[in-house]
Amino acid sequence: MKKILVIDDEWNMRNLIKIYLTREKMKIDEAGDGTVGVDMASQSSYDLVILDIMMPDIDGWEVCYRIREFQNVPILMLTARTDITDRVRGLNLGADDYLTKPFAPEELVARVNALLRRHEIGQSSSTPYFIQDGLSIDSVSREVKVNEQLVEFTRKEFELFHLLVSQPNQVYTREILLNQIGSFDDFHDLRTVDTHVKNIREKLRKSDLPFNPIKTIWGVGYKFNKEEDRS
């Protein structure tokens, strides 16, 4: 039985989520504000967190940031706002998906199940990938290191980079990357992929990686920058 934490200050919304996910044989814990939600997430292990953005004490962005400091649990954020800057902000803080209110309960169930499947696939992988020039990526521990020094990636950044590394000969379009790693409500906003790529490059550059790890294939998309492809 999957264990889900719902953090939302509206009782009606928590109750609606609980009704539909309980039908899917999931166990639901509830928090009525962000502070309580962070405490519950720190004291218990959850398979997924459903997190509202607009809350009166600390907002969902801050809750997401705090949870990411100690746990890599999938996070589905709920919002009544459609501004892309809000989504990019959540992405950079480590959110895994967004669902815009009001939503159909069937879509909520589908999003939750998709996140749980992706998380299980990521955890079941047992083959670490080791790359040259001091860069290593481990699919078991979900860690990226440069010269044995850990580089902090968000969940989305790791999944995108791991996908590129695991298929080094494959060129991925932005559309495919969005589909593979899970996207937000606007499946046509390809800037989310560009944001991930930019963040990955910048973090590895600051860690003194001696090459650009992601190669842009102009007019197509991205691929891992293998040693023989570097110019």
Co-location of 114 and 28 in the same domain: yes
* CA 192-121-14 angle, 5° bins: 70
Final residue belonging to a domain, choices 106, 123, 140: 123
Co-location of 146 and 186 in the same domain: yes
Contact between 29 and 4 (Cβ < 8 Å): yes
Co-location of 75 and 147 in the same domain: no
Question: 89 or 154: which carries more pLDDT confidence?
Answer: 154
The token pair at 7 is 């953090």
What range does the domain containing 49 cover? 3-123
Looking up residue 54, the CATH number of its domain turns out to be 3.40.50.2300
Give residue 1's pLDDT band: very low, low, confident or very high (50, 70, 90): confident
Co-location of 38 and 145 in the same domain: no
Secondary structure (H, E, C), 138-160: ECCCCEEEECCEEECCCHHHHHH
pTM equals: 0.58
CA distance 10 to 229: 53
pLDDT of residue 10: 94
pLDDT of residue 123: 58
Lowest mean pLDDT among 41-45, 128-132, 182-186: 182-186
On the question of pLDDT at 121 being above 80, the answer is no
Look at residues 53, 62, 147 and name the one whose alpha carbon lies nearest to residue 98. Answer: 53
Total length of the chain = 231
pLDDT of residue 184: 46
Co-location of 116 and 168 in the same domain: no
Beta bridge partners of 29: 5
**Per the structure, how many domains does the chain have?**
2
Looking up residue 216, the CATH number of its domain turns out to be 1.10.10.10
Co-location of 87 and 141 in the same domain: no
Final residue belonging to a domain, choices 100, 123, 146: 123
Co-location of 118 and 143 in the same domain: no
Mean pLDDT of the chain: 85
Q: What is the pLDDT of residues 23-53, one digit of tens each?
A: 999 999 999 999 999 999 999 989 999 999 9
Co-location of 161 and 88 in the same domain: no
Lowest mean pLDDT among 4-8, 55-59, 160-164, 187-191: 187-191
Which DSSP symbol is given to 56? Answer: S
Final residue belonging to a domain, choices 75, 100, 123: 123
